[in-house]
Amino acid sequence: PTVTNVGNNRGIDIGALNQFLGERNMQISNGYGVFKGKAFRIGHMGEVDDADMARLLTAMDGFLAQQGIGN
């Protein structure tokens, strides 16, 4: 597996999320075609390790908390 596709069932502004992540030197990919805005993709191939994924997910949690979107 090289990528995980995540459904955007919380209505997250993926562009704003990516801007937030970009300020932290991270990036995800928006869905494309009919899935743009409805899903996003997280790449985890190559030299990505567990610590990288934990850093990304922690940053995403921070964004969601800032937006008032919690667990």
Q: pLDDT for 34-58, tens place per residue? A: 999 999 999 998 899 999 999 999 9
Mean predicted lDDT score pLDDT of the chain = 93
DSSP-derived letter for residue 14 is H
pLDDT(32) > 70: yes
In the predicted structure, residue 27 carries a pLDDT above the cut 80: yes
- Whether the predicted pLDDT of 3 surpasses 70: yes
Question: Residue 33 and residue 21: Cα distance in Å, rounded?
Answer: 22
**pLDDT at position 30 over 90:** yes
Give the span between the Cα atoms of 22 and 14, in whole angstroms: 12
pLDDT at res. 71: 61
